[in-house]
Each structure stands twice: as structure tokens, then as C-alpha cells.
Amino acid sequence: FTLLGLESSADDTCAAVVTSEGRILSNVVVKQNQELAIYGGIHPYAAIQRHQQNMPGAIRQALDDAGLDMSSIDGIAYTRGPGIGGCLSVCSTAAKTLGATLNKPIFGVHHMQAHALTPLIPTLYAAHRTFTSAADAEQPQTPPQFPFLALLISGGHTLLLLARSPDEFTTLATTPDISIGNAFDHVARYLGLAPGERGYGAALEAFAAGAPASFTHGVDADVHDADEPDADAAVPDFAVPLRGQLAFSYGGPRSRVEIFVRERGGVERVPEATRRALARAFQAAAVRQLEEKTVLALRHCEGLGVRVQDVVVSGGVASNSYLRQRLRAGLNEAFPGTALNLVYPPPHLCTDNAVMVAWAGMHRFAAGDFDTYDASIRPKWRIDEYTGKALARLH
Ligand code: ATP
Ligand code: FE
């Protein structure tokens, strides 16, 4: 069977058609103009307007690309939460209206569940391989098995979850602070980077890796380069916050960059070599924190007698290739001799998309677990509450 997936929880308007075998028949992502992002976040009113403009066309395109009509689609999955209320209303109303009109079942899925289940799409593996990007060559051959650990790192979340089944998740670590993706976005802005097509996070990664960068107005490419011969020594040291605790914090590292730039009299006064050193140091520290907390979470599961052999890393920040290399090396160092299966979706399925939403609805279709057409959106929705079942707490 075939599901239409709809996603509009943040700033991308997405529609996709996926089969029960995991074949991706279409994947439409309409990115919003990066200029809509103010203060490193999303302007809710502008985002809602864009979703309203773009959703009907995205659905039409997804059906056309799949070569299907709505009548041959078996059901509609949409993001019910968490996210910006007005944004969620767009995909929710579209899904419910299509469902009620055409008498099709609907599935309101949890956005982070969808990020976590993406690597279970069978066509991402071996003989089914449909992706040919360079990063795809790093994809492992085997999909993750429950129970697995999910490290979800995105624009709104920094989470370590124990996934016991497609809809049973326990939060092992989260943050009271800003998310890792948000910290990447802010730091890129403090460094004067222009977001480009792939956004601030990807711009920061490329800048740290030495790629030529474009800057926002007023920031030169090579201010006083000779003034700072040892740029790496000039930038602050980033310690891992909350050492030994199952919790994340990215507000501190972000502020350290902000303060450094301010003390230098603004980004236009900081030599480019120093800006790059700062980007590298921030990114390395951000990833070191992920590494350390992931190791802690795996030890925590071990202590509880839960055998975890697979680690899923998903969400927009998981498309960062420095992180992919570092995390592999870090886990090998921490658990020598054990073959942990570290699994990432291909980069274009790490950032928001509706393929993951359709896929998350798939097991519910099989189980006949439909939502009613009056289901309300859930802007705030803890993933532990997803099933409504009383799950055994782990800590
Ligand atoms: P959430 O999933 O928490 O609701 P979201 O859906 O807005 O948030 P995603 O689309 O999953 O977030 O991820 C977007 C985030 O990923 C942004 O903060 C962006 O800067 C970050 N990001 C994308 N690519 C990279 C990269 N290469 N390196 C670092 N960060 C990145
Ligand atoms: Fe997301």
C-alpha cells in the first residue's frame, strides 16, 4: 500500500509518497527563504503564510512525481506535533480534509519519532539502495534492531532516546537549554556567515572545513589576517558542560563565541583565520559533547541490562560529516572490540522531509491504528507520551 506524508512543523513545507516496502515514490521539500529566519529562529507568522502558500502545490507535485492520483493513495500521515502550532495546523488540516473527503485513514505522527524511524526504511540498504551520494557509501548494511539508542539532533531538539518499538520511546537525555541545531545557527550568524541554500548549520560546517565562504554585509573575507599568526591558540577553550550527566547544554558554548566576537569589537574586526579557528573549535566541542553523552547513555542501558547494539543518529545536524566521522571514532574508542551499528539516514533525509512522516505512519496502517478526523495538533508533545501507554521509567 501507499501513504502520502505531509510535514510543516517548522520552516520546510514537505509532501512525499512512500510504499509499504519503503519505496520512495516522491519527496518534495519546499525550503523557506532563509531571510525569514530572524534571531536564528523561525518567524512563526511568516512560516505559517509560506506553508499555506506552498502546501497545495507540494501535494500536487508529490502525487505527480509518484505518477499517482489521490484516489489510489491508501492513507495520509502528517506531523501532529511537536512544532509551531500555526505551522502544524497547515499539514494537519490538509491531511484531515483529504482524509475526510476521500474516506481515507489518517495518522498523526510525532515529528521526533519520524526522525528516529527514518533508518528503518528498508530501501536505504543493500540491494534496495536508491541513493548514490558519496555519504551513502558510509551507510551500514543492516538496519537498526529494537531496542536501539536514538541520538536526535535538530533545530528544536537535542535528545537521547531508548527506542523499544516504533512507538515506545524513553528519554534518556534532553536539554533545558537551546538545541544543538539552534547553537550552530547562532554561531554561524555571530561569525557573519551567509546561510546559503542549505542553511546556517551547513554553512558553519563548510567554513570550518576551509571552504570559501560568503559573508553577510560588512564582513570581509580576510581582515588583518597577518595580525593573528596562531589563530587556534587565540580562540576559547570549550569544556563539555554537565560532565558525567545525562543532559545536554549548548547555551554556554554559543555564548562563548558571542562574547569572544563582542570583546574583539564585532565580527568585522576578527581576522578570517581566527573566525575559522573559532568555527572549528565550536564544532569540535559540540560533537565532543554528543560523543560523551552517547557513551554515557550506552553505559546507562548496559547498567539496566538493556542490550543495545544499534545507535541511530538523525535530525538536521546529523547531516554534518565531521560529526559522522568523529562519532564513529569516539564510539570505537569507548567500546573497543564491540561492533556497534551506527546508522545515519542519508543527509537529505536527516533534515525535515515528509518521507519520514509517511514511513512513521506505515506500521500504524498495518495495525489498523487510525486517528479520528477531529484529532487536535500537539505543539508540545513529549515523545515518551506518544502511545499514551504507561511506559516503565528507566531513571
Ligand atoms: P525539530 O526536528 O527539532 O523540530 P527542525 O525540524 O527545525 O527541528 P531539522 O530540519 O531536523 O530541524 O534540522 C535543522 C537544523 O539542522 C538547523 O538548526 C540546521 O542548522 C542544522 N543543520 C543542518 N545541516 C547541518 C550541518 N551540516 N551541520 C550542522 N548543523 C546542521
Ligand atoms: Fe525536524
In degrees and rounded to multiples of 5, residue 253 shows phi and psi of: -55, -40
Q: What is the pLDDT of residue 394?
A: 31
CB 14 within 8 A of CB 8: yes
d(CA 132, CA 123): 12
Rounded mean pLDDT, 340-362: 95
Peptide linkage before 147 cis (omega within 30 of 0): yes
Q: What is the pLDDT of residue 20?
A: 96
CB 286 within 8 A of CB 127: no
Rounded mean pLDDT, 1-25: 97
Q: In residues, how long is the chain? A: 395
Rounded mean pLDDT, 91-117: 97
In degrees and rounded to multiples of 5, residue 148 shows phi and psi of: -125, 160
In degrees and rounded to multiples of 5, residue 104 shows phi and psi of: -115, 150
Most confident of 118-132, 221-235, 363-377: 363-377
For Cα atoms 142, 166, 351, give the angle at the middle one, nearest 5 degrees. Answer: 70
CB 110 within 8 A of CB 163: no
Q: How far is the CA of 356 from the centre of ligand 2 (A)?
A: 10
Ligand with minimal distance to 83 CA: 1
Bigger pLDDT: 292 or 130? 292
Residues in contact with 259: Cβ distance below 8 Å, sequence separation at least 6, in sequence order: none
pLDDT exceeds 50 at position 389: no
Taking the model in full, what pTM does it have? 0.93
Q: What is the pLDDT of residue 216?
A: 81
Bigger pLDDT: 216 or 8? 8
Ligand with minimal distance to 181 CA: 1
Predicted-complex ipTM score = 0.98
In degrees and rounded to multiples of 5, residue 78 shows phi and psi of: -145, 160
pLDDT exceeds 80 at position 390: no
C-alpha cell at position 165: 518499538
Q: What is the pLDDT of residue 393?
A: 34
Nearest residue to 248 via CA among 288, 209, 278, 305:
288
Residues in contact with 382: Cβ distance below 8 Å, sequence separation at least 6, in sequence order: 171
pLDDT exceeds 80 at position 141: no
C-alpha cell at position 289: 559533547
Of the chain, the end-to-end C-alpha distance in Å amounts to 39
Q: Quick one: DSSP state of residue 142?
A: S
Q: Which amino acid is at 21?
A: E
**Segment among 72-81, 107-116, 121-130, 260-269 with least mean pLDDT:** 121-130
Q: What is the pLDDT of residue 392?
A: 34
Residues with CB under 5 A from ligand 2 (ion): 154, 352
Per-residue burial over 279-296, b if 16 or more Cβ lie within 10 Å, else e, is bbbbbebbbebbbbbbeb
Rounded mean pLDDT, 95-111: 97
CB 142 within 8 A of CB 125: yes
149 beta partners: 162, 311
Residue 1's pLDDT band (cuts 50, 70, 90): very high
Q: What is the pLDDT of residue 129?
A: 52
Q: How far is the CA of 102 from the centre of ligand 1 (A)?
A: 34
Q: Which helix (H) or strand (E) holds 92?
A: helix 85-102
Q: What is the pLDDT of residue 35?
A: 56
CB 1 within 8 A of CB 19: yes
Q: What is the pLDDT of residue 139?
A: 58
Closest-CA residue, ligand 1 atom 15, reads 155
Most confident of 68-82, 197-211, 230-244: 68-82
Closest-CA residue, ligand 1 atom 13, reads 316
- The pocket around ligand 1, CB under 6 angstroms, is made up of 9-10, 83, 111, 115, 154-157, 181-182, 184-185, 199-202, 205, 315-317, 319-320, 351-352
Q: What is the pLDDT of residue 229?
A: 73
Nearest residue to 181 via CA among 62, 350, 334:
350
For Cα atoms 334, 163, 392, give the angle at the middle one, nearest 5 degrees. Answer: 105
Residue 375's pLDDT band (cuts 50, 70, 90): very high
pLDDT exceeds 70 at position 39: no
Q: Quick one: DSSP state of residue 61?
A: H
Tens-digit pLDDT profile for residues 218-247 = 776 665 555 677 888 888 889 899 999 999
For Cα atoms 26, 29, 33, give the angle at the middle one, nearest 5 degrees. Answer: 165
**Segment among 221-235, 251-265, 298-312, 366-380 with least mean pLDDT:** 221-235
